C-alpha cells in the first residue's frame, strides 16, 4: 500500500456509528457522541449512523428496536449533531451496507475473525450458539466505513481492533484486485474517556448490558439517580493524590477522575491539580453536579425529540438519501472491480 492510497486521494471524511441495543450510557456519550459533535465543521465531511443491522446480531424485540433506533438518533441530535452539517441516518435504509458487507465476507479470512476479542467476550463459552451475524459483524463494520471511503473513525478503545481489521480488509481487497480503491482508515481514539469503566468494578468497561443499573450512568438518568450512582460508586478510602502517578493501581479512582476530566474538557492532570488531597466526600458530589449540568439539558432535549418520532424518522430518511448518494457510486465501482456483471 502506498501513501497515496492511505491519504491524499481521499476526501477527509468521518464515519461512526452506535448500535440501537438498549439505553445509551455515559461511556457512549464521552467515548463517542461528544467527540462526533466536536468533529463537525470545516475539516471533515461527517456521517453518523444508527447501526441497526449490527444490533440484530443479538436478539432484539422489534418494537424495542424501533424505539432504541429513534433514541440513538435523538441522542445525536440532542448532543449537537446538526443534520444539516452531518449526514445522520440509520444503516438499514442504505442497502449498500449489506451488499458491500457480503463482498468483504469474501475478502476477510476466518482466522482474522477468530482473533476478534469482542466476539470472544460476547460469545463466552457459548460460541456455537451465537448468530453467524455476530461472528461476521466486523466485516459489516468495515463495509460501513469503506462504503464512504471514510478516512477517520472516532470510536472508544473497545473498537480499535475492529478498525484495524477494516484496514486489513481494505489492504487485502486493494492487493487482490490490484487497485488502490479503498483507503486505509485511521481510528481516532483520543482523550481521557476512551474506556469509561463500570462504577462498581473499575476493571470492567461501563456497558449498556451490565447486570446492575448501579454500574452505569444512563444518558436518560435523572439528577437524583446520577447523584446516587456516583455517591455509591466504588472507590478506595484514600484521598485523591498529588499527581496522576498516585492513581496507578487505583482503577476506580482513576475512572472518576477521567470522567470528570472528559466532562469538563480538561486533562486528568488538571483535575488532579485542582483536587489534590480532596476526599471522596468532596469529589463525588462535585462530579455528580458536573455530570448533571452536562447531561440534564441533553436528556430533556432527547425526551422532547422522542415525543415526535415522525420528525426523527423524517430526519433519518433524509440522511439516508444523502448517504446513498455517496455510497451507491462507490458500491458500483466495487462491483466493476470485482467483475460482477450489471
Ligand atoms: P456501542 O454502544 O457498542 O454501539 O458503542 C458505540 C460507541 O461508544 C463506540 O465507539 C464505543 O467504543 C463507544 N463506547 C461504548 N462504551 C464505552 C465506554 N465504556 N467507554 C468509552 N467508549 C465507549
Ligand atoms: N461496532 C461498533 C460498536 O459496537 C459500532 C459500529 C458499527 C461502528 N459500524 C461502525 C463504529 C463503523 C464505527 C464505525 O460500538
| Residue 206 belongs to some domain of the structure | no
CA 16 to ligand 2 center in whole angstroms: 6
208: in domain? no
Nearest ligand, CA 197: 1
Ligand 2 atom 13 nearest Cα: 16
Residue 163 shares a structural domain with residue 259: no
267 and 247 within one domain: yes
Q: Same structural domain for residues 279 and 334?
A: no
Please indicate, yes or no, if residue 204 is contained in any of the structural domains. Answer: no
pLDDT tens by residue, 286-312:
999 999 999 999 999 999 999 999 999
Is residue 166 located within the same domain as residue 289? Answer: no
Q: What is the pLDDT of residues 79-121, one digit of tens each?
A: 999 999 999 999 999 999 999 999 999 999 999 999 999 998 8
Does 242 fall in a domain? yes
Q: pLDDT tens for residues 133-151? A: 999 999 999 999 999 999 9
Give the pLDDT band of residue 122 (cuts 50, 70, 90): confident
Is 3 or 16 the better-scoring residue by pLDDT? 16
**pTM of the full structure:** 0.96
Query: Does residue 324 form part of some domain?
Result: yes
| Domain range enclosing 37 | 3-192+308-338
Q: How many CA atoms lie within 13 A of 262 on its CB side?
A: 27
Tell whether 299 and 324 lie within a shared domain.
no
Q: Mutation test of ligand 1: which of 30, 158, 206, 261 has the most ligand atoms closer than 8 Å to its C-beta? A: 158
Ligand 1 binding pocket includes 156 (Cβ within 6 Å): yes
So what's the pLDDT on residue 1?
43
Say how many domains are in the chain: 2
Average pLDDT over residues 229-248: 96
Tens digits of residue pLDDT in 178-201: 999 999 999 999 999 999 999 999
Phi and psi dihedrals of 88, rounded to 5? -115, 120
| Nearest residue (CA) to ligand 2, atom 8 | 17
152-180 per-position pLDDT tens digit: 999 999 999 999 999 999 999 999 999 99
Angstrom distance (rounded) from CA 44 to CA 56: 30
For the record, the C-alpha cell of 42 comes out as 470545516
Q: What mean pLDDT comes out for the span 321-342?
A: 98
Answer whether 167 contacts ligand 2 (Cβ < 6 A): no
Amino acid at each position: 500500500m502506498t501513501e497515496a492510497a492511505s491519504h491524499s486521494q481521499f476526501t477527509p471524511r468521518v464515519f461512526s456509528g452506535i448500535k440501537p441495543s438498549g439505553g445509551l450510557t455515559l461511556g457512549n456519550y464521552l467515548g463517542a457522541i461528544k467527540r462526533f459533535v466536536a468533529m463537525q465543521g470545516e475539516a471533515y465531511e461527517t456521517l453518523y449512523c444508527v447501526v441497526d443491522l449490527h444490533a440484530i446480531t443479538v436478539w432484539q424485540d422489534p418494537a424495542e428496536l424501533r424505539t432504541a433506533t429513534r433514541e440513538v438518533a435523538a441522542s445525536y441530535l440532542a448532543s449537537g449533531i446538526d443534520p444539516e452539517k452531518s449526514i445522520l441516518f440509520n444503516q438499514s435504509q442504505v442497502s449498500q451496507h449489506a451488499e458491500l458487507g457480503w463482498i468483504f465476507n469474501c475478502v476477510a479470512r476466518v482466522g482474522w475473525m477468530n482473533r476478534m476479542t469482542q466476539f470472544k467476550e460476547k460469545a463466552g463459552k457459548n460460541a456455537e450458539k451465537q448468530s453467524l451475524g455476530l461472528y461476521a459483524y466486523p466485516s459489516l463494520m468495515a463495509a460501513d466505513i469503506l462504503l464512504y471511503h471514510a478516512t477517520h473513525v472516532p470510536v472508544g478503545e473497545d473498537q480499535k481492533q475492529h478498525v484495524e481489521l477494516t484496514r486489513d480488509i481494505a489492504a487485502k481487497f486493494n492487493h487482490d484486485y490490484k487497485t488502490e480503491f479503498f483507503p486505509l482508515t485511521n481510528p481516532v481514539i483520543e482523550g481521557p474517556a476512551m474506556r469509561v469503566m463500570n462504577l462498581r468494578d473499575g476493571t470492567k468497561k461501563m456497558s449498556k448490558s451490565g447486570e446492575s443499573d448501579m454500574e452505569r450512568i444512563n444518558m436518560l438518568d435523572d439528577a437524583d439517580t446520577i447523584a446516587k450512582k456516583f455517591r455509591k460508586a466504588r472507590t478506595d478510602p484514600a484521598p485523591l493524590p498529588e499527581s496522576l502517578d498516585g492513581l496507578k493501581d487505583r482503577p476506580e479512582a482513576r475512572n472518576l477522575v477521567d470522567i470528570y476530566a472528559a466532562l469538563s474538557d480538561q486533562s486528568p492532570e488538571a483535575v488532579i491539580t485542582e483536587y489534590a488531597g480532596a476526599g471522596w466526600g468532596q469529589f463525588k458530589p462535585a462530579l455528580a453536579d458536573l455530570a448533571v449540568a452536562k447531561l440534564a439539558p441533553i436528556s430533556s432535549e432527547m425526551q422532547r425529540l422522542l415525543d415526535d418520532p415522525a420528525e426523527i424518522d423524517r430526519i433519518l430518511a433524509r440522511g439516508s438519501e444523502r448517504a446513498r448518494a455517496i455510497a451507491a457510486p462507490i458500491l458500483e465501482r466495487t462491483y466493476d472491480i470485482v467483475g460482477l456483471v450489471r
